[in-house]
Amino acid sequence: MNPRHRRLTGVISAALALAVSLSACGSTAGDDGDDAGASGGSISVAVTDPIQTIPGRQTVAYDLNMAVWSPLTWVDTDGELSYVAAESIESDDATTWTVTLRDGWTFHDGTPVTAQSYVDSWNAVAYGPDAFENSGQLAGIAGYDDLNPAKGEPKTTEMSGLEVTGDLTFTVTLDGPDGQFPMQVSQAQTALYPMPASALEDMDAYNTHPVGNGPFAVVGDYVENEPIETEAYADYQGTAPTVDAISFVPYADATTAYTDVQAGNIDVASVPAARLPQAAADFGDRLHTFEAAGISYLGLPLWDERYQDVRVRQAISMAIDRETIDKVVYGGLYTPATAFTPAVEAGTPEGICGTFCEYDPAAAKALLDSAGGFDGTIDIYYPGGSGLDELYKAIANQLRQNLGVEAVATPSSDWAEFSETRTNGDIDGPFFSRWGALYPSQQNTLRSFFVEGGGCPNCIPYYEDDVADLIAAADAESDPAASAEAYAAVQERILEDFPAPPLFFETYSYVTSERVAELPTSAVGNPTFTAVVLAEGA
């Protein structure tokens, strides 16, 4: 053989050999989720890779957190509050709350869960210089501001509002009366979960190996891009979970996860926006849609004089055919909004929006004409790359057809650009606006939208002192019926000014493999994986 020829084949075969050897190190040893399932009672769940697993820091690991930790309280789909890690949470004046913990609970490392664990954890999460992403959930506790001074380092590491009064009791003093406090320590407010003493010493190690007080313990360490394996914690003192193990498998693309459920390789995935219209056809009764504490609005630029007249805002609302959009864009899985807070939040006065939330193009046009018409173009602005294009194009089309005003929908390049533009108020048309409440109370939604600095800056740029006062008055009520009535009064007041058209009560949709028989949920709208029922023989 010609020596030069040998050289060529040598190069190619060396390259191929390299390919083989490199790929050998790239692959993980045969550990696929679905084999484990057959052995008994385990499920696999598609998640976004969390990066941060610590409750005070995570922003996309709710499912993992709710399996590995137990909250003080729990709100079920009917809005009923029950106690989990807490035995009771009581107050005489709604300002100072006494939390009594259940006895005998331990973290997965065996150390007892005490009042001190809670107080230390909350102080750590609130400590300003550590900049924990979820620290805002503790902002109502007296002394939070001392840990987050406007300038310089805080002079203390403890919030004055927290006091340990016994092994299992501590008191929480709030900045003002707040009857919703027991709701605020419910399942999705993860910043209020307890952490063991070891966590406070080394948060990085804790992020790699989270240790909670919940029904499932993390097995091994969290490694980016690798499934997080959890197994039922033998010493768990709460309601025993229905499955033995949960595997949280990271997917970069929700559509891929959806496809993988179709193939039966993974048990549960949330439905991405692009798949909502076809999910029912693809999955039949394996599509699960849960009412969520989320609501979307069409935010209006109240700083623009063309939107000053309330009739213009009402006309825009009445020109939107929510039912049709729901069918086309969301596969009929959402609910047209009829109030200013999601229906799942206790006491929401459904229907309060009345005719203003109902589609009536003729009345809308008449209302707009009586307000003197509209000058120029309605330029809708929304975050690009978030699967919202169809929704806002549909709204623009309807406004154009029904109001006879030119309307277009323009996306931003990404979320960061949108969020900055909205926060700065640099928009001259309607815009994307939504809020998903982490605790299902009207308080959370109303405060986020209608109180300045309440959480969703400029989502609805309508900050009236009397609205804020009414919300504060409602907050002060601790009796559920009285507070529901007081929050309804807030909505009556908002309706007068109709600052932005409510669009949809949101739902969260999930699809499951044939191994899953029942997928229960709670008031926050994500699956309660600890109570999943597997199909027979699965």
Partner 1 sequence: MTRRVTRRLVDLLVVFLGVTLIIYLMVFALPGDPIAALGGDRPLAPNVVAELRERYHLDEPVLQQYLRYLGGLLQGDLGTTFQGQSVADRMALRWPVTITLALTAWGIEVVLGVLLGLVAGLRAGAVSDRLILAGTVVATSIPVFVLAVSAQLWLGVELAWFPVAGTGEGWPTAYLLPAAVIAVFGLASVARLMRGSVVDTLRTDFVRTLRAKGLRERQVVGVHVLRSSAIPVLTFLAIDLGYLLGGTVVVEGVFNLPGVGQLLFQAIRAHEGPTIVGVSTALILVFLLTNLLVDLLASVLDPRIRHE
Residue type, 359: Y
- Between CA 234 and CA 303 the distance in angstroms is 58
CB-wise, 187 or 483, nearer to partner 1? 187
Phi, psi of 530 (to 5 degrees): -70, -10
By CB under 8 A, tell whether 39 contacts partner 1: no
* CA 445 – CA 319 distance, rounded (Å): 25
Total of residues contacting partner 1 (CB under 8 A): 78
User: For partner 1, which is the closer residue by CB, 406 or 452?
Assistant: 452
Our CB check for partner 1 shows the closer of 167 and 414 to be 414
Query: Is position 506 an interface residue for partner 1 (rule: CB under 8 A)?
Result: no
In angstroms, give the least distance from the CB of 27 to partner 1. 3
- Work out whether 33 is an interface residue with partner 1 (CB under 8 A): yes
Applying CB under 8 A, among 248, 435, 505, 508 the residue interacting with partner 1 is 435
Which of 521, 441, 452, 433 has its CA nearest to residue 487?
441
Q: Which of residues 449-488 bind partner 1 (CB under 8 A)?
A: 453, 455-457
**Interatomic CA distance for residues 219 and 363, integer angstroms:** 61
Residue closer to partner 1 by CB (options 145, 350) is 145
Among positions 111, 419, 463, 538, the unique one binding partner 1 when judged by CB under 8 A: 419
Q: How far is CA 77 from CA 74, 81, 345, 439, 469, in A?
A: 10, 10, 9, 12, 29
Q: Could you say which residues in the range 299-328 bind partner 1, by CB under 8 A?
A: none
Window of 26-34, 76-84, 110-118, 512-520 that interacts with partner 1 by CB under 8 A: 26-34
Find out whether 352 and 389 touch, Cβ atoms under 8 Å: no
CB 25 within 8 A of CB 489: no
Least Å from the CB of residue 342 to partner 1: 15
Burial per residue of 416-451, b for 16 or more beta-carbon CB atoms within 10 angstroms, e otherwise = eebeebbeeeebbbbbbbbbbbbbbbbbbbbbbbbb
Show contacts with partner 1 in window 122-141 (CB under 8 A): 128-133, 135-136, 139
Distance in Å, CB of 484 to partner 1, minimum: 24
Residue 271: what are its φ and ψ, rounded to 5°? -90, 120
Those residues whose C-beta lies under 8 Å from the C-beta of residue 300, and which sit 6 or more positions away, are: 307, 313, 316, 430, 431, 460, 499, 500, 501
Q: What angle do CA 138, 144, 145 make, to 5 degrees?
A: 135
User: In this chain, which of 28, 239, 278, 308 binds partner 1, going by CB under 8 A?
Assistant: 28
Contact between 7 and partner 1 per CB under 8 A: yes
**What share of residues in the chain are helix, strand, coil (percent, to 5)?**
40, 20, 45
Q: For partner 1, which stretch binds (CB under 8 A), given 97-105, 224-232, 273-281, 496-504?
A: 224-232
Site string for partner 1, 238-267 (x = CB under 8 A): -----------xxxxx-xxx-xx-xx-x--
Q: For partner 1, which is the closer residue by CB, 234 or 252?
A: 252
Which listed residue (92, 224, 466, 536) binds partner 1 by CB under 8 A? 224
Token pair of 318, please? 């009445």
Q: Is 355 near partner 1 (CB under 8 A)?
A: no
Contact region for partner 1 (CB under 8 A) — 51-59, 100-108, 339-347, 501-509? 51-59
Q: Are 433 and 459 in contact (CB under 8 A)?
A: yes
The DSSP-derived string for 14-73 is: HHHHHHHHHHHHHSPPS--HHHHHHTTTEEEEEE---S--STTT-SS-HHHHHHH---SE
Least Cβ distance, residue 430 to partner 1 (angstroms): 17
169 or 265: CB nearest partner 1: 265
413 binds partner 1 (CB under 8 A): yes
Cβ proximity to partner 1: between 9 and 239 the closer is 9
Stretch that binds partner 1, among 13-21, 301-309, 368-376, 397-405 (CB under 8 A): 13-21
